[in-house]
Amino acid sequence: MSKITFLGAGSTVFAKNVLGDCLHTPALQGFEIALFDIDHERLQDSANMLNNIKKTSGSTSVIKTYTDRKEALSGAKYVVNAIQVGGYDPCTITDFEIPKKYGLRQTIADTVGIGGIFRNLRTIPVMLDFAADIREVCPDALFLNYTNPMAVLTNVMNTYGGVRTVGLCHSVQACIPELFKSLGLEKEGVKAKIAGINHMAWLLEVTKDGVDLYPEIKKRAAEKQKEKHKDMVRFEMMLKFGHYITESSEHNAEYHPYFIKRNYPELVDRFNIPLDEYPRRCIEQISRWKQMREDLVNDANLTHERSHEYASYIFEAIETDIPFKIGGNVMNTGLITNLPREACVEVPCLVDRNGVTPTFVGDLPPQLAALNRTNINTQLLTIEAAITRKREHIYHAAMLDPHTSAELSMDDIVAMCDELIEAHGKWLPEYH
C-alpha cells in the first residue's frame, strides 16, 4: 500500500483541502493517509473529519493516526509538511511585540523581516529532525513543503536535509485570478509566465491571443490607485518597477524599505497597510475554531470538492504519468541566471512520472533580480545562522533585511535580536 504522510495534521482546515483532495483523486485510491501531529486532540479531530469525507466520497484509502513520527513516515512515498513551530502564543506574539518596542512594525512576519528570521530559526531544527527520519525510513520520498518561511525551509531541506523537496505556495495560482478580478478584466485564455522567489515572484509576461496585456493592466492600476483598495503596495511596485508581484500587498509592504516607515507614518495610511495583520488573523481563527470544529469534525455527512491545492495534482501526475504544470520552489540550479545558485527560486515546473522537473527561466529584468537579491541576502544569512549556530549571523541576517535596516541602527538591531533570542528561550537552540 502506497503512503502519504501529513506532518502537522492538526492543521485541520488545510488537511481537509490537501487530503480531502487526495480522497477524491482516482489515482490515489487505496493509499494509506498517515496523520502526525504533536497535538493529539487536533490530530484526532483531523482523522474524524477525513473519515467523514472518506465515507461520503466512497474513497478506498485508509486513514491512520500516529503519535510516533518515525512510524508515521516509515515507507512513505509522499510527505506533506504544514507545521508551525511555536504557534501564535508565545512565538508569533514575541515576533511582533519585541520589534514593536524598537519602533519596528510588521504586517505578517512569516517570510523575511525580523519575524521571518526568527520563525526560520525555530523551525529549521525541527525540519532537520524530519529530514533525519526521512533519510532513515523513507529516503526516496518526495517532500512537499507548505510551511513558511517557504524559501529558506525548502532550501534547508534540499541543501542540508538531503531530502528531495519542493515548496508550494498559493500565491502563484492566485496571481492572475486576483489581479484580473481587481481590475475588471477577463482571465479566460490568458497566458502568463511567473518566476522569481517565493512571495516575490514576478508576472514576467501576460498575454491573450498574442497581445501583451501589461499596458492595459498598468493603465487600470494607475486609475485604481486614486482611491484606497487592498492591493495598493503591489500596484505601486508594478508602476515603479514594471511588473506585478505574486504575493499580497500586506506581505510585500514589509519586504521592501519603502512603505512602513516611522518617519513617514502617512505612508501606512496612503497605501492602506494593515499593521499587525497576522496576529489579528490568528485571534480571529482561534475564536472561530469552536464553530468550525463542529462543522468540520462532527459532521458525519461532511463532503468535499477537490480544491486548487497543488499536492493531489502532483501525486496524480507522478502516479499516472499525465503531465501537470506547477509553480514550485526549488534550488536555483542555473534556472534564473542572475540570482545566486545557492538560493531557492520559484519557477514553472513540469510534473510527471519522473517527478518535479523545473524549467529554465534565464535572466530576470535587472531591477526585479535586484529586488529579489535584497531578500535572498537575508535568507542565506538566516540559513548560515541556523547551521553554524553563530549569533553573529542572526545579526547579519537582520542588518541585511531591507525593512529592518531602513528603520533601525545596527546597535538597535543587535539589541533587538538579543532580546528576541532571550524571549524565545527553549524554542531556539543555543547560539554562541
- Catalytic residues, which ones? 170
Nearby residues of 369 by Cβ (< 8 Å), 6 or more positions away? 336, 338, 339, 363
Q: How many CB atoms lie within 10 A of CB 413?
A: 25
3-state secondary structure 97-159: HHHHHCCCCCCCCCCCHHHHHHHHHHHHHHHHHHHHHHHHHCCCCEEEECCCCHHHHHHHHHH
The helix/strand/coil state of 327 is strand
Instruction: Extract the C-alpha cell encoding 399.
Output: 542588518
| Sign of the torsion formed by the C-alpha atoms of 284, 230, 149 and 410 | negative
30 contacts 312 by C-beta, under 8 angstroms: no
Cell of 46: 483531523
Taking the chain, what is the end-to-end CA distance rounded to the nearest angstrom? 46
Interatomic CA distance for residues 353 and 78, integer angstroms: 13
Task: Estimate to the nearest angstrom the gap between the alpha carbon of 413 and the chain centroid.
Answer: 26
291 by Cβ neighbours in 10 Å (0-12 / 13-18 / 19+) ranks as: exposed
CA distance 202 to 171: 11
On whether the CB atoms of residues 291 and 3 are closer than 8 A, the answer is no
For residue 414, the number of C-alpha atoms closer than 13 Å in the C-beta half-sphere is 5
Strand ranges (DSSP E) for 275-380?
A: 324-331, 344-352, 355-358
User: Cα–chain-centroid distance for residue 211?
Assistant: 32
The one-letter code for the residue type at 143 is F
**Taking Cα atoms as reference points, which of 157, 208, 142, 187 lies closest to residue 349?**
142
Q: What distance in Å separates the CA atoms of residue 86 and residue 253, rounded to the nearest whole number?
A: 24
For residue 285, the tally of other CB atoms under 10 A from its CB is 12
